[in-house]
Amino acid sequence: MALDHEKRKQISVRGIAGLGNVVEIKKSFNRHLHFTLVKDRNVATPRDYYFALAHTVRDHLVGRWIRTQQYYYEKDPKRIHYLSLEFYMGRTLQNTMINLGLQNACDEAIYQLGLDIEELEEIEEDAGLGNGGLGRLAACFLDSMASLGLAAYGYGIRYEFGIFNQKISDGWQVEEADDWLRYGNPWEKARPEYMLPVHFYGRVEQTAEGVKWVDTQVSLCTRHTRTHTPCDPRQNIRVDRHLSSKFFSHLISPNTFFLFNVGDYIEAVLDRNLAENISRVLYPNDNFFEGKELRLKQEYFVVAATLQDIIRRFKSSKFGCRDPVRTSFETFSEKVAIQLNDTHPALAIPELMRILVDLEKLDWDKAWEVTRQTCAYTNHTVLPEALERWPINLFEKLLPRHLQIIYEINHLHLQRIAAMFPGDNDRLRRMSLIEEGDPKRINMAHLCVVGSHAVNGVARIHSEIVKNTVFKDFYEVEPEKFQNKTNGITPRRWLLLCNPGLADLIAKKIGDDFLTDLFQLRKLLDFIDEDAFICDIANVKQENKQKFAAYLEKEYEVKINPESIFDIHVKRIHEYKRQLLNLVIQRYIFFFPHQYPTVDAVLSTQAAPGYHMAKMIIKLITAVGQVINNDPVVGDRLKVIYLENYRVSLAEKVIPAADLSEQISTAGTEASGTGNMKFMLNGALTIGTMDGANVEMAEEAGEENLFIFGMRVEDVDAMDKTGYNAREYYERLSELRQVIDQIQTGYFSPKEHELFKDVVNMLMNHDRFKVFADYEAYITCQDRVNELYKNPKEWTRTVIRNIAGSGKFSSDRTISEYARDIWGVEPSDVKIPPPNEPPVESRK
């Protein structure tokens, strides 16, 4: 079986630069190894080799990044600023080598030096600056913004500790700190010379010069810059754009120095530690709102630093000049677009108003017009528990001036609504930014809708739910504001990088343009009856399964049959994602193993540390797996495996090996999903409900080519009105009843019979997501899966139809729609030459 790095040299799309200057790569590698890293030590470690290679690759970025920034300052295009509290970047080395066209040269250089490049790639830590889909989507968007030639920047927090490392101990999740920076990060450039102040607490004064926010606690932050580089195989141009991500961190309070001077050392150190806590750790809950002061500090911290950077850049127009040359904000929204990735950066709206009104002295109406035309908001959830609602008393303490601004925004907003709907006080209550109660709370989603010129959902069905339920009143007032932008994934990482065998096969059939135009995959339908192509697709999948099986045996000491169905369910553990439905089905198969082909069910990803039910679900999965995997009657016909510490680098191994992708959330609860797209692109068939992007996937590939089951959104709505009775299904379905009884009576927990009583109680009495209602349809659909799998040729033809239908789900398409419909810019194909070539103008 060929190794991946051997395949890469055969893949036309990776051969952008041929072998390149292998000698130069080796010289640069040795220079970094001996002078930058090892220095006085006589022996280099494998980590030293990784850092030497990373610095060598980064050297190719620096000059191009400077050339790109110079081009932007000279042309002064409209700049896009993508604000997100999460960027789940994963590893950078391999992705950067591919996008720079250096993969082959580095492969050869490292081989000649007697090293294994794949071993060096495995040393890199995942940059886990996100919880799951939200952060991974942001990372894909950065890749596409760069590939589309947009003058765009991502802004987030450089958390010292990212998403926690998950360990499974006796079946229980245990969280450990993700100290991903302990060895340093070669992909960033710290800019401590440009410290930015961020203010907290204090009070508001009315003065003759206007409103002032005084007596604040000031913290200083440092900017860390990293670049994102696309490739363009069509032109043999290695780099056209570099997208800078600004990650803020390292907070210091100036008050600390005064305390040191007066001798209060302990208090000074504690003060500094409190300040630095802001960027210390990523909050691990992405589907639950936690109203903690530190979280609110993080949210304000990132928008305050970001807006200072944006306004500084807006005022400057000459490359390298930091002196303001623009004094009018009339054209601000023509030069600046701010995209709010969910409600976490919502404070950008009152913060921009504070800057424009208090500091730049614009009148309120003009400042509000500028703010609304600049900001746009992406909604990512319809779950009530995930929507941010901050207590007024916390706001008043931490951000008193912003509370005043939000009150004024709400006052003018309600005046307008009252004029449109006289006497409709219930509508005023529903549309208010301030929710009455004890305590009163600020509805951050309402703030985003009112303060933005565009609001979008992330899949068509989700956008319809947003318009018809979540923001129904707002949609009735401003229907033109609401849009849909179906999510996408970058094919560079999620096909070219993680599945080189499939990428090579596709390139041989249709050429390599599909990397920048994923709709080209439609051409694969021309070969759907070609036996040789069908066989090649099946062989690529089987080889990926063999590699993953070897990985499981090595890392988890579990031996599985590569000929079995690899049934994969990898999502954040949450009741609405219905891992319990999958688990019940595995237990059903356990009853009747000879009715089914061999199945290996792989479930994974983390539960939020404070989410009790999610942790109980993990414990139940591992307990069921322990029973099934050791049952002599079942033998090797069924294995249930829980992968600990699911992350981007593990996903890159799992997804290419999957046969079946579980996308089984209750209809109307998943905003979009992007894992479903990754599986589809890599040749897994989907078993799922008509939820999120599954609806559009079924349209693109043909619903008959997915295993669709269960209630639709309208069915769920109807059941909500009539009432869902879990006990009715429990009494009627004997197999289901047997599974639930076994869970309840301790069959899977013989040492603690009532261990899973909370899970059973939730399923029987408090299940908002109606697991039992879709049970029969799920069983029937699994039967369809098993029948098709018995016909390998027809299964593979269905796989080809899915790959061919995945073109819509490129993040390049998504970002092109954002650019044209929301940001008011066009993607650019202007090539900025590398530093060793003359500028475009001088070559004309």
Q: Report which residue type is found at 675.
A: G
From 250, 574, 577, 637, active-site residue:
577
Q: What is the pLDDT of residue 246?
A: 53
Distance (Å, whole) CA 139 – CA 327: 34
Q: Report which residue type is found at 645.
A: N
Q: Is the pLDDT of residue 802 over 80?
A: yes
Tokens of 326: 């623009």
Identify the DSSP state of 423: T
Q: What is the pLDDT of residue 253?
A: 47
Q: Identify the residue with better confidence: 215 or 233.
A: 215
The answer to whether residue 674 is catalytic is: yes
Ranges of beta strands (E only) in 392-538 are 434-435, 441-443, 455-457, 482-484
From 64, 441, 678, 801, active-site residue:
678
State the number of CA atoms in the 13 A half-sphere of 701 facing the CB.
30
Contact 599, 518 (CB under 8 A): no
Q: What is the pLDDT of residue 234?
A: 30
Tokens of 288: 């639950």
Residues 6+ apart with CB under 8 A from 583: 603, 617, 620, 621, 624, 640
Do you find a cis peptide bond into 439, omega within 30 degrees of 0? yes
3-state per-residue secondary structure call for 7-53: HHCCCHHHCCCCCCCHHHHHHHHHHHHHHHHHCCCCCCCHHHHHHHH
Query: In angstroms, what CA-CA distances link 128 with 155, 292, 510, 639?
Result: 15, 21, 35, 29
From 5, 8, 64, 380, active-site residue:
380
The answer to whether residue 572 is catalytic is: yes
Contact 819, 826 (CB under 8 A): yes
Contact 383, 576 (CB under 8 A): yes
Tokens of 106: 């580095």
3-state per-residue secondary structure call for 577-592: HCHHHHHHHHHHHHHC
From 91, 493, 571, 801, active-site residue:
571
Residues 6+ apart with CB under 8 A from 86: 129, 130, 131, 134, 135, 138, 156, 282, 286, 341, 344
Burial category of 612 from C-beta neighbours within 10 Å (exposed 0-12, middle 13-18, buried 19 and up): exposed
From 490, 666, 674, 686, active-site residue:
674
- Residue 755's pLDDT band, with cuts at 50, 70 and 90, is very high
Q: Is the pLDDT of residue 666 over 60?
A: yes
Residues 6+ apart with CB under 8 A from 489: 140, 674, 677, 678, 681, 809, 810, 811
From 58, 446, 572, 578, active-site residue:
572
Rg (CA), the chain: 27
Contact 245, 226 (CB under 8 A): yes
- Residue 16's pLDDT band, with cuts at 50, 70 and 90, is very low
- Residue 229's pLDDT band, with cuts at 50, 70 and 90, is low
Pairing of strands 217-228, 87-90: unpaired
Burial category of 712 from C-beta neighbours within 10 Å (exposed 0-12, middle 13-18, buried 19 and up): middle
Tokens of 232: 């363009």
Q: Find the helix or strand (DSSP H, E) in which 417 lies.
A: helix 400-420
Distance (Å, whole) CA 619 – CA 755: 9
- Residue 216's pLDDT band, with cuts at 50, 70 and 90, is very high
Q: Is the pLDDT of residue 25 over 80?
A: yes
CA 90, 93, 95, 100 torsion: positive or negative? positive
* Other beta carbons less than 10 A from residue 790's beta carbon: 9
Name the least confident of 216-225, 306-315, 476-485, 675-684: 216-225
Q: What is the pLDDT of residue 3?
A: 54
Identify the DSSP state of 164: P
Name the least confident of 38-52, 127-141, 368-382, 689-703: 38-52
Contact 235, 829 (CB under 8 A): no
Q: Is the pLDDT of residue 314 over 90?
A: yes
The answer to whether residue 669 is catalytic is: no
The answer to whether residue 678 is catalytic is: yes
Pairing of strands 455-457, 565-570: unpaired
The answer to whether residue 571 is catalytic is: yes
Distance (Å, whole) CA 101 – CA 61: 12
The answer to whether residue 577 is catalytic is: yes
Q: What is the pLDDT of residue 270?
A: 52
Residue in the structure block whose two tokens are 């429990």? 730
Distance (Å, whole) CA 575 – CA 759: 10
Mean pLDDT over the full length of the chain: 88
Distance (Å, whole) CA 844 – CA 837: 13
The mean pLDDT value for 184-205 works out to 91
Of 180-194, 214-228, 528-542, the range with the highest mean pLDDT is: 528-542
The alpha-helical segments, DSSP class H, found in 655-712 are 675-681, 694-701
Pairing of strands 172-176, 165-169: antiparallel
Q: Is the pLDDT of residue 226 over 90?
A: no
Kindly report, residue by residue over 37-49, the tens digit of the pLDDT.
Answer: 666 667 889 999 9
Contact 189, 59 (CB under 8 A): no
Q: What is the pLDDT of residue 274?
A: 62
Q: Report which residue type is found at 828.
A: S
Nearest alpha carbon to residue 648 among 280, 131, 13 = 131
* Other beta carbons less than 10 A from residue 762's beta carbon: 20
CA 267, 272, 275, 276 torsion: positive or negative? negative
Tokens of 727: 């006990």
